[in-house]
Amino acid sequence: MKKVLCFGDSNTYGYCPGRAIRYDKNSRWSGILKQLCDGKFEIIEAGCNNRTAFSDNPAGIDQTGYKVLPNLLQQNPDYIILAIGLNDLQYSYAPTLQQVEDGIKLLIRIIKETCPCAKIVLAAPSVITTDILHSYFINLFDMDSIEKSKHLPAIYKTIAQSEDCIFIDLNKIAKVSEADGLHYKAEEHQKIAQAMFELLNNN
């Protein structure tokens, strides 16, 4: 059975907007995907709250994507879904768009060096909305973060084309909650899971 590593941040972990709890396995997209793929793919859930892709997170290695990814790749997945990148837009990191592009390419390079035969699914995250400015997360994100997030779909698509990755734009599938402008309601997780299931079956 082929393995699928779902590598991401709080939206892969299943953070519930407005409640600060984790969705159960029947409600978060990676958990739903595991059920949909039962008998076809082995789904490895590897989401973590506040995980960055390439920025050095003071919270530690597990929350710094490029540092923890090599350990997770020791499971030899056949597919790696990269659903990450929004936390790097926090104003404490303030990366340029070029740094964002280079950072995502770093993750892809790590995967190719460790699991050269694996297929990489690059998921552009849903754009952050101004609702975040009225939530707890105003302590982490600002208008600059919001504006930069609007560029991620195009950046990720370009990277996917140049790096021979499978591309999926979550903006066309799911919208973030008005509760915090960053995370998904349960019904959006269902949409993402179904889209990922179809993508895996077609690739």
Identify the CATH number of the domain in which residue 91 sits.
Answer: 3.40.50.1110
Q: How many domains does the chain have?
A: 1
Please provide the size of the chain in residues: 203
Please give the mean pLDDT across all residues of the chain. Answer: 97
> What is the helix (H) or strand (E) element at residue 79, kind and residue range?
strand 79-83
What pLDDT digit, counting tens, does each position of 6-51 carry? 999 999 999 999 888 999 999 999 999 999 998 899 999 999 999 9
What pLDDT digit, counting tens, does each position of 70-122 carry? 999 999 999 999 999 999 999 999 999 999 999 999 999 999 999 999 999 99
- Give CA–CA dist 55/60, Å, rounded: 11
- Give CA–CA dist 68/53, Å, rounded: 10
CA distances from 121 to 22, 82, 96, 155 (A): 24, 6, 23, 14
CA distances from 43 to 34, 165, 190, 197 (A): 5, 19, 16, 11
- Give CA–CA dist 8/48, Å, rounded: 7
- Give CA–CA dist 113/111, Å, rounded: 5
Closest CA to 107 of 156, 48, 153: 156
Q: Domain range holding 196? A: 2-202
What pLDDT digit, counting tens, does each position of 122-150 carry? 999 999 999 999 999 999 999 999 999 99
